[in-house]
Structure 1
Amino acid sequence: MAPLEALALEYPLIDSNFRKFCASHGIFTVEDFLVHDLYALAAFAEQDCSSDELKQGITQVLSILDNQHRPWLNGLELLENAEQKKHLSTGCERIDVLLQGGLREGHVTELVGPSSSGKTQICLQAAANVAKKYAGMVVYLDSGNSFSPKRMAQFLSRSFNPANSEVNQILERVMSSIMHHSVFDMFTLLDLLHQLLHDFKSQICCQVRMVIIDSLSSLISPVLGGGGAHGICSINTIGTSLSSIGHALMVSAGFLLKELAHEHNLSVVVTNHMVAGEAGASKPALGESWKNIPHVRLLLSRYHVANACCISILKHPYLETGKTVEFVIT
């Protein structure tokens, strides 16, 4: 939950005096309000010289909590909501056919695969296509310096008519609709996701249609740690503690991504690498807890010849798993 201080800019009633009063009763976050006896808090406020302002502040926080409460939805409303969701084309016809339209708005889609399997290429092509075809903004969070504006321009150029005299203007418009940000640690990522949520709620970035994180696993894996490889007990203890913190950060990032997708009708795409599993078989990184986060999980592999790739459905709420198509990256 957000600290009370984070609400101060938007809500003047939650000023330093109000926060000091709350702190004296062990209330530092919005969550603390949910578990506190509000009648007792109001009684303490009555005894204060600035009781009116304090009671107004309490009412303000309760109003914020009430506005953030999500209403119950019945099955018919959920069905109608699902049917209203649209697909965003990836720019690759064979992938769009496999997914019956493309990357779905409101979903977190995970692209998993070994190095050089085509994950980044799909991200770049999808970003270029969404910015061009849907006139929407794309937020591209890049953790590995893999973002290539030249490659993206290549994808765009293939879809233009060479005789069109406005190609340069269209290319400039599309490229300016893609917001790139280099991210090299988990805490920066969480800050950016919180900022995105705030901007959406303030209607600052309502034209954003897609958020891409390439690669999410390279940010999460370092903070997951793992004490099992150490032989010294004290180091094991530290490793286990760090792993627990990393796990909490991973889950927080996952729920932020799902909230962005669901609440603001975005298509969220993340990439994940492969690690060694049982009997030497490869499996997606980040473990069992993470695999429940994405709505859709797609596995990519690449043949040794030419640029032929394969993509298959590992997880999808509406489509049959195991379906596979081949495509070519050019």
Structure 2
Amino acid sequence: MRRPSARRITALAAAGLLLPALAACGSDDSGAGAENAENEDSTLVIYSGRNEKLVKPLLGELEKAVGAKVEVRYGDSAELAAQILEEGRRTKAGLFFSQDAGALGALSKEGVLRKLPPATLDKVDKAYRGSDGDWVGLSGRVRVLAYNPDEVREDKLPDSVLDVVKPEWKDKVGFAPTNASFQAFVTGMRVLEGDDATRTWLKGLKANGAKAYANNLAVLDAVESGEASLGLVNHYYWYERVAEKGEDKVAAQLHFLPGKDPGALINVAGAGILEDTGQGEAAQKALDFLLSKRAQTYFADETKEYPLAAGVTSSVKDLPPFASLESPDIDLGRLESLQQTLTMLQEQGLV
């Protein structure tokens, strides 16, 4: 994954609500709401932070589901959140489909998302939806440790991500510091453990010779080859590789951390409906479709993520049941402070 550009840093700052004036500027146009009202549900515009290749087949089914033309604009979740704030009431977006909870939390904090009906919210456990009831998780991914059994015995694996900075793991850990999922995990650690403890851990990670890679797949490759004994990744990369190659062709194994450890964070992809865009009815239908058995099964089968809607379970072989995961208790909306995380990573020379 590319290093953060000036454009991305600006976007992260906006998504972190360091530029709240943008939304206020956009809301000065009193004619925007009237214009949107005239176009009520004629077209649903989705700003999608999820990869086009990944979700296009599913989103292609939406026009039939919502009974309106659907236009999807793809991009980075943080950049799209920043764009929505900048556009204010002039935004074309009716539905924001985010790769992570942090960008949704940023928009929620700014008050630009519509409150969702209880019937929608109640489909998902409250831990995986916005605390203000204005966004809902659609699929979940858990942080795990990938490990090479030829390099480390299972009974010697750490029970906390905090332990990977200990001397026994010197030069043996791989991670992807410029990857959004790692940055969201560090943000979660800041929320759970505090900034001082997180900064100390990052310093320890660097001092202990942890090896930086471009993305999660590169980390998994390093573990597979024995270049790294442990790798900090999301669970679904391993399951996608197993589905592609067969488990007997994949050297790495996964360790799901116990005890509500920060390294067992469950982040979500989710969606929220924008206020005052004249697309509310179509956006609600789209959101309900994304929570339907059809869409939830797609997330489970195609992306190897956990479906979050009640009554839908994953059929992925050997994937631990969602209820068995010992993830930390955290308000996922608080992952919006991504800019502070990026600054901390830059201060430690990790990005």
Q: Which of the two has higher C-alpha Rg?
A: 1
Q: Larger relative contact order (C-alpha < 8 A, sep ≥ 6)?
A: 2
TM-score, length of structure 1 as denominator length? 0.28
TM-score, length of structure 2 as denominator length? 0.27
